[in-house]
Structure 1
Amino acid sequence: MEEHVKYIYLFILLAFPFESVFGENSEFEELRAASEAHLSQLDGEWLGEISGLELQGDYPDQPYKSEIIIRIDGDEVLVGAKRGDNWYEMPYDFKIIRHKTHAIVYAFAAKDAWVEAFNFTITLNSVNEMALVWSRVVNNYVLPVDDWESRGYFQGFSLLERQ
């Protein structure tokens, strides 16, 4: 009887091809391909307003809000901010690392004893909306730690819209 069971299993395996489950034309492969196409949707121009979250080293009497624009084109990234009525490009060499629907846009800056790091962690909520968490850390290492200009830690959140 056990010999017949082996033949039945073999027949079932051969009679029903696995292509519908594992093959290139499977629903899973189509969804994966569609998702990969969706990932390229990070490219474009995104506009929003960062609202600052208070952290140690922040300036509580000056809540941070800033309009921001991010342009992503492949590996090229431009980040701009608004001061008053004027837009300016942040003068840093921003890089991008992508992973599925997420990306990290970052830059380091330094001059003399002033060192900064910028980080924008982003994810797509939809084709036209991107969520962004921003952080900036400043270290003016020649100043004493208790000097208010010696260190700064800033963080914010924004929902950006595709333009």
Structure 2
Amino acid sequence: MRKPVAAALAAALALALAGCGQRPADPGTSAGDVTPSSAPAIPTPVSPTPVNPTPVNPTAREAPVKLGPQAQDALARARAEGARAVAVTVSTEPGQVERAVAGLRGLGATVESSDASVGYVRATVPVDEVARVPGVEGVRQVDVDEPLSNGDPAP
């Protein structure tokens, strides 16, 4: 009883080692007649041919970030009140605070504070540019605060 089981295991092992798509054994031999000299060679692992995929941007998102309903309402109020700028709080992708700060400055924003350890940027952005903030590289989420007054703070 042990010989048929051992022969079947040896045959299965030989087939597994030979790999899929190999030529079948010589018709004159049976699956149980596997000897070291007639066993197929162990195939060497072959790496698949690399395909040139589209480069992946590590900060790319599945869906673009958009301003939420509260942010849109705050922006609409700011426009209605004639505000020239609004304060925004930006959450960034990990390690992307500096990139987000540079992008915000490129929109004409004044960066008030940032904290790379938590991925936070606080900035004042011109009202006409706020809609572009979610598209800044490294930005994960944008919150628009209440409109800033345009009054002169001098007494």
Same fold (TM over 0.5): no
**Relative CO higher for 1 or 2, CA cutoff 8 Å, sep ≥ 6?**
2
Query: Per residue, is there more helix in 1 or in 2?
Result: 2
Larger radius of gyration between Structure 1 and Structure 2: 2
Q: TM-score, normalised by structure 2?
A: 0.32
Query: Per residue, is there more strand in 1 or in 2?
Result: 1
